[in-house]
Amino acid sequence: MVKKVALSFSGGKDSCLAFYYLQKQGLQVACLLTTVWKESGDTVAHNEKRERVLNQADRLSIPVHFIETDFHTYTNDFVFMLGSMKERYGIDGAAFGDIYLEGHRSWGEQVAQKAGVEPVYPLWRDQAEVLELLHEFVDTGFKAEVIKVDAEKLPDSWAGRRIDSSFIDDILKYENVCPMGESGEYHTYVHDGPIFGGE
């Protein structure tokens, strides 16, 4: 049974909610892993400045390790870092915030296996249940804003919106958009919530 994990962490709602679930399940999050582009140093997931993730890690009192990478070496770099975290912290699991996309899960299972740890998916559920997850995110007290949108799926004006009850009402008006943005329809940055300590 997995007891200690490294959490793949973007700073967005899915990874923060995954942290929350891991805590509820009694698993220890030993460290956060955030991929950043070698050239810019910004996060791969959201093109955020790494300082914003550092701020979150400080408030979580959890060390964050940045994986400098590019398109060609991404998987190998992630596997190498997981192996390093296994030696350094004694992790026996790698946790991911994916919800229902099988391709994402397969990738996580692959890199975990190569690093000799177990993959953990605390948020995993049927696609029909994702709305419940978004409601839970809001109701639990997380505070987040949209930092990036897929212009083919949502209006640019959605950038900067808070994730709240009105956001949920509005996103349900878009038939082909996942409420949780699982296919990249929108990305978020979490400012506050039950997992965080003080500023």
In a domain, 198, yes or no: no
- Residue 132 shares a structural domain with residue 113: no
Query: What angle do helix axes 74-89 and 102-115 make, rounded to 10 degrees?
Result: 50
Which of 104, 120, 136 lies at the terminal end of a domain, its last residue? 120
Judge if 145 and 112 occupy the same domain: no
Query: Residue 199 has what pLDDT?
Result: 56
Token pair, residue 138, equals 């809001």
Give me the residues of the chain with pLDDT under 70, please.
198-199
In this structure, is residue 197 part of a structural domain? Answer: no
DSSP designation for 129: G
Virtual torsion, Cα 107, 10, 60, 87, nearest 10 deg? 40
Expressed as residue numbers, the domain containing 82 is: 4-120
Q: Can you give the C-alpha Rg of the chain in angstroms?
A: 16
55 and 87 in a single domain? The answer is: yes
Predicted local confidence at residue 189, as pLDDT: 98
* Secondary structure of residue 148 in the 3-state scheme: strand
The answer as to whether 161 is a domain residue is yes
Same domain, 24 and 61: yes
Q: Are residues 89 and 104 in the same domain?
A: yes
Residue 198, pLDDT score: 64
User: Tens of pLDDT along 80-108?
Assistant: 999 999 999 999 999 999 999 999 999 99
Pair 23, 104 in one domain: yes
What pLDDT, in 10s, does the model give residues 56-88? Answer: 999 999 999 999 999 999 999 999 999 999 999
Query: What six digits make up the tokens of 82?
Result: 């997981």
pLDDT of residue 103: 95
Domain boundary among 73, 95, 120: 120
Q: What does pLDDT average to over the chain?
A: 96
pLDDT for residue 153: 95
13 falls within a domain:
yes
Say which CATH number the domain at 92 has.
3.40.50.620
Q: How many domains does the chain have?
A: 2
Q: Is 43 helix (H, G, I), strand (E, B) or coil?
A: strand
